[in-house]
């Protein structure tokens, strides 16, 4: 694929080799120097004869189209041959050099949603004149199509090639997430959709939508429209309507990505209070209310009724079986100041221990969530307070330095864990900070093999304090790719960041092209410069 423009000084073959990119690295990869040419006019994706999925499979029909134009951008733009009125990509003019990429999926299911048990494995075999992609599910086929697209490259004259290749591939972790925060800054829909596209390119499979928080409540609720009417930055322009949310979920589904919403409480809820009176705890100054509000008031029934209605709606709107309930960073000062809360504490026998109060609240809403047949994810704080936690609750680690010890403790208690602490990539620093993300070893902590299996994956977090649509992409990409590879690929084969760097550099070019930029030579040279200077140290 044309990535670097004119490959000044390189031999054609070297340039071609360098242009072939696979990110994340497949589990088993065998590439040869047998180069086959591909002709857009004669190329087609077809369903294998033995495939359970056939024409009409929504996910794959759309993916064939999408990947055709990703693989042959010039062709798609130029001739318009592809985009005829018939949507299926199929050329009837069969000739002996037609490259057919046959996709065979073992199990049916094109209209469902990817979930925690989805089998994303695939095998891809590219030989002369044909490619065969085999997977168990359509989600695996999507991963394989992505790899296939990354194998295709263009020479300086614009001809397309793909080398003979054998791939056996599957993810190391089932949960490979990316968090966007749409409360601190509103992100327009297109920024979210573009992020989903880019996630698919590096095989992320969960979009953790931190949709509301203190600063704003952009989720337009059917049950409680005042939450966004009063709590969003703007009630019409800075909200996600029900149809926006549907669009995100469908766009994600088409790329094999789950959407896990987070409705973080009892802290991080200031914006909720604007549209839902009596939800938040009034803080007191001495004997009188100070006029400011603290976390959700855990002492009154109305709070639980409200949370139950909201969670019911969430279940209805978001098909994923997981919902993130937050539970982090609850400040106790306001609770402490409020006489009703203090009375409640006494009544419940919590003494002066406000962690018990938070426990009580979180346990109640985790119970509600379980009753709705949903699995809760909560931030590590909930575990740190030693609350009784339903065993199937997933705990997410976000606190920096001590994450290895936390991994040990949580898995020892039998909980499934997500690791996010080392991947807060909203933090930026000069130079190649992707190397820190890359060096993370999610299963390197003291514990048994059984404990290590409880690490179900991790998440890159892009918190929104200083991030909006103008700087989201450059902050996310390619930096998030480091975690994507760590979560997908074999760790033994990807320990060396120096070896990964040229591949990442090329993958960056690919990403730029998806955004309709051309990978600029001077940028590429400066990256190479860093690469060399890293070596000469
Ligand atoms: C692809 O084939 C070309 C031409 O034979 C060769 O130079 C190149 O190294 C091959 N690429 C890979 C990744 O094996
Ligand atoms: C497109 O082609 C498919 C498969 O050949 C066929 O089933 C379908 O009816 C066609 N659709 C249109 C709109 O012509
Ligand atoms: C892929 O190949 C491996 C090893 O040959 C095999 O065990 C696995 O079943 C294959 N997967 C699919 C989806 O065909
Ligand atoms: C949550 O559910 C468990 C198990 O049913 C129960 O023992 C516990 O009292 C419930 N907690 C709250 C706060 O409702
Ligand atoms: C609960 O959720 C699981 C997983 O999403 C699903 O398979 C099951 O059918 C659901 N059970 C009920 C009673 O809705
Ligand atoms: C695990 O981490 C420790 C330090 O935290 C390091 O010394 C060790 O080499 C790592 N283990 C492996 C297998 O890389
Ligand atoms: C690369 O960047 C330079 C400086 O911004 C610009 O002049 C040049 O046109 C760019 N080249 C390509 C191929 O985009």
Q: How does residue 72 score in pLDDT terms, banded at 50, 70 and 90?
A: confident
Q: Do 150 and 180 lie in a common domain?
A: no
Q: Where in the sequence is the domain holding 18, given as residue range(s)?
A: 3-169
Q: Do 422 and 488 lie in a common domain?
A: yes
Q: Please tell me the predicted confidence (pLDDT) of residue 494.
A: 95
321 pocket-lining for ligand 5 (C-beta < 6 Å) = yes
Is residue 365 situated within a structural domain? yes
Q: Do 318 and 430 lie in a common domain?
A: yes
- How confident is the prediction for the chain on average, in pLDDT? 88
Query: pTM higher than 0.75, yes or no?
Result: yes
What is the percent of the chain where pLDDT is above 70?
Answer: 87
When mean pLDDT is compared across 165-169, 387-391, 514-518, the lowest value belongs to 514-518
CATH number at residue 391: 3.20.20.80
The yes-or-no verdict on residue 367 having pLDDT over 80 is yes
Q: Do 110 and 257 lie in a common domain?
A: no
493 pocket-lining for ligand 1 (C-beta < 6 Å) = no
Distance 521 CA to ligand 7 centre (A): 8
Is residue 241 situated within a structural domain? yes
Q: Which ligand is nearest to the CA of 3?
A: 7
Domain end call among 169, 194, 209: 169
Quick one: average pLDDT of 529-535? 36
Q: Pick 420 or 94 by higher pLDDT.
A: 420
Distance 197 CA to ligand 7 centre (A): 25
Is residue 36 situated within a structural domain? yes
Q: Do 158 and 188 lie in a common domain?
A: no
What is the position in ligand 3's atom list of the atom closest to the CA of 123? 1
Q: Do 82 and 207 lie in a common domain?
A: no
Q: Do 409 and 441 lie in a common domain?
A: yes
154-164, pLDDT tens digit by residue? 887 888 889 99
Question: If residue 81 lies in a helix (H) or strand (E), which one and from where to where?
Answer: none
Is residue 511 situated within a structural domain? no
Is residue 477 situated within a structural domain? yes
CATH number at residue 125: 3.30.379.10
136 pocket-lining for ligand 3 (C-beta < 6 Å) = yes
- Beta pairing, strands 288-296 & 280-285: antiparallel
78-99, pLDDT tens digit by residue? 333 333 333 333 333 333 344 6
**Ligand 7 pocket test: which of 2, 4, 522, 525 has the largest number of ligand atoms within 8 Å of its C-beta?**
522
Domain end call among 114, 140, 169: 169
323 three-state secondary structure: strand
- CB contact at 8 A, 348 and 299: no
Distance 130 CA to ligand 2 centre (A): 24
Closest CA to ligand 7's atom 11: 520
Quick one: average pLDDT of 221-239? 98
What is the position in ligand 5's atom list of the atom closest to the CA of 374? 2
373 pocket-lining for ligand 5 (C-beta < 6 Å) = yes
Q: Please tell me the predicted confidence (pLDDT) of residue 313.
A: 98
196-210, pLDDT tens digit by residue? 999 999 999 999 999
- Report the catalytic residues: 329
Quick one: average pLDDT of 340-363? 96
Q: Do 323 and 358 lie in a common domain?
A: yes
The yes-or-no verdict on residue 453 having pLDDT over 70 is yes
Q: How does residue 392 score in pLDDT terms, banded at 50, 70 and 90?
A: very high
- CB contact at 8 A, 461 and 424: yes
Q: How does residue 20 score in pLDDT terms, banded at 50, 70 and 90?
A: low
User: Looking at the 3D structure of the chain, how many domains does it have?
Assistant: 2
161 pocket-lining for ligand 1 (C-beta < 6 Å) = no
Closest CA to ligand 1's atom 6: 33
376/422 Cα distance (integer angstroms): 22
Q: Do 226 and 159 lie in a common domain?
A: no
Q: Please tell me the predicted confidence (pLDDT) of residue 77.
A: 45
28-55, pLDDT tens digit by residue? 999 998 888 888 888 889 999 889 999 8
- Beta pairing, strands 375-379 & 322-326: parallel
444 pocket-lining for ligand 6 (C-beta < 6 Å) = yes
Closest CA to ligand 2's atom 3: 88
Closest CA to ligand 1's atom 10: 33
Closest CA to ligand 4's atom 2: 367
C-alpha distances in angstroms, 448 versus 380, 393, 409, 453, 489?
A: 21, 20, 12, 9, 22
Q: How does residue 190 score in pLDDT terms, banded at 50, 70 and 90?
A: very high
Q: How does residue 387 score in pLDDT terms, banded at 50, 70 and 90?
A: low
C-alpha distances in angstroms, 106 versus 90, 110, 121, 141, 281?
A: 22, 12, 11, 10, 54
The yes-or-no verdict on residue 12 having pLDDT over 90 is no
Quick one: average pLDDT of 470-476? 94
* CA atoms in the 13 A half-sphere facing the CB of 440: 31
Q: Do 155 and 218 lie in a common domain?
A: no
Distance 441 CA to ligand 6 centre (A): 8
Q: How does residue 425 score in pLDDT terms, banded at 50, 70 and 90?
A: very high
Distance 444 CA to ligand 6 centre (A): 6
Distance 515 CA to ligand 5 centre (A): 39
33 three-state secondary structure: strand
Q: Please tell me the predicted confidence (pLDDT) of residue 42.
A: 83
Q: Do 285 and 374 lie in a common domain?
A: yes
Quick one: average pLDDT of 388-409? 93
Is residue 517 situated within a structural domain? no
269/272 Cα distance (integer angstroms): 5
When mean pLDDT is compared across 40-49, 232-241, 352-361, 412-421, the lowest value belongs to 40-49
Is residue 192 situated within a structural domain? yes
**Ligand 2 pocket test: which of 46, 61, 84, 86 has the largest number of ligand atoms within 8 Å of its C-beta?**
86
Is residue 440 situated within a structural domain? yes
Q: Do 153 and 260 lie in a common domain?
A: no
Distance 491 CA to ligand 3 centre (A): 20
């Amino acid at each position: 694929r044309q990535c670097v423009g004119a490959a000044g000084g390189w031999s054609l073959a070297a340039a071609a080799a360098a242009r072939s990119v696979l990110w994340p690295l497949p589990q088993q990869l065998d590439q040869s120097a047998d180069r086959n040419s591909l002709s857009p006019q004669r190329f087609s994706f077809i369903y294998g004869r033995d495939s359970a999925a056939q024409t009409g499979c929504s996910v794959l029909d759309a993916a064939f189209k999408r990947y055709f134009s990703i693989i042959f951008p010039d062709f798609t733009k130029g001739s318009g041959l592809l985009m005829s009125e018939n949507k299926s990509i199929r050329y009837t003019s069969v000739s002996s050099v037609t490259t057919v990429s046959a996709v065979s999926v073992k199990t049916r299911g094109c209209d469902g949603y990817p979930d925690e048990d989805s089998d994303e494995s695939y095998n891809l075999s590219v030989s002369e004149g044909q490619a065969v992609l085999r997977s168990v599910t359509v989600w695996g086929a999507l991963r394989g199509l992505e790899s296939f697209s990354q194998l295709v490259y263009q020479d300086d004259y614009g001809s397309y090639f793909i080398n003979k290749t054998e791939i056996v591939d599957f993810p190391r972790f089932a949960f490979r997430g990316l968090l966007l925060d749409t409360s601190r800054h509103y992100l327009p829909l297109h920024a979210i959709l573009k992020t989903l596209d880019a996630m698919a390119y590096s095989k992320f499979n969960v979009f953790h939508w931190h949709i509301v928080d203190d600063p704003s409540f952009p989720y337009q609720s059917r049950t409680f429209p005042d939450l966004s009417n009063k709590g969003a930055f703007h009630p019409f322009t800075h909200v996600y309507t029900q149809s926006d949310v549907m669009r995100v979920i469908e766009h994600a589904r088409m790329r094999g990505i789950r959407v896990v919403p987070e409705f973080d409480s009892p802290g991080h809820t200031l914006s909720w209070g604007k549209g839902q009176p009596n939800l938040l705890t009034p803080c007191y100054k001495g004997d009188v209310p100070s006029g400011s509000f603290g976390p959700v008031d855990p002492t009154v029934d109305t709070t639980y009724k409200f949370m139950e209605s909201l969670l019911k709606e969430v279940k209805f709107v978001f098909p994923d079986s997981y919902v993130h309930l937050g539970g982090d960073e609850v400040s106790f000062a306001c609770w402490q100041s409020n006489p009703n809360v203090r009375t409640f504490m006494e009544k419940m026998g919590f003494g002066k221990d406000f962690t018990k109060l938070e426990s009580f609240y979180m346990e109640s809403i985790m119970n509600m969530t379980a009753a709705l047949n949903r699995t809760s994810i909560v931030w590590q704080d909930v575990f740190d307070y030693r609350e009784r936690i339903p065993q199937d609750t997933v705990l997410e680690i976000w606190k920096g330095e001590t994450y290895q010890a936390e991994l040990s403790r949580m898995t020892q208690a039998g909980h499934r864990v997500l690791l996010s602490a080392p991947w807060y990539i909203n933090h930026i620093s000069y130079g190649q900070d992707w190397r820190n993300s890359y060096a993370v070893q999610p299963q390197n902590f003291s514990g048994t093999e059984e404990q290590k299996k409880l690490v179900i994956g991790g998440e890159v977090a892009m918190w929104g304090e200083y991030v909006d649509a103008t700087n989201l992409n450059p902050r996310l990409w390619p930096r998030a790719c480091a975690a994507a590879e760590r979560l997908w690929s074999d760790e033994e084969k990807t320990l060396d960041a120096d070896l990964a760097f040229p591949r990442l550099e090329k993958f960056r070019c690919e990403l730029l092209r998806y955004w309709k930029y051309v990978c600029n030579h001077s940028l590429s040279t400066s990256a190479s410069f860093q690469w060399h200077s890293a070596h000469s140290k």
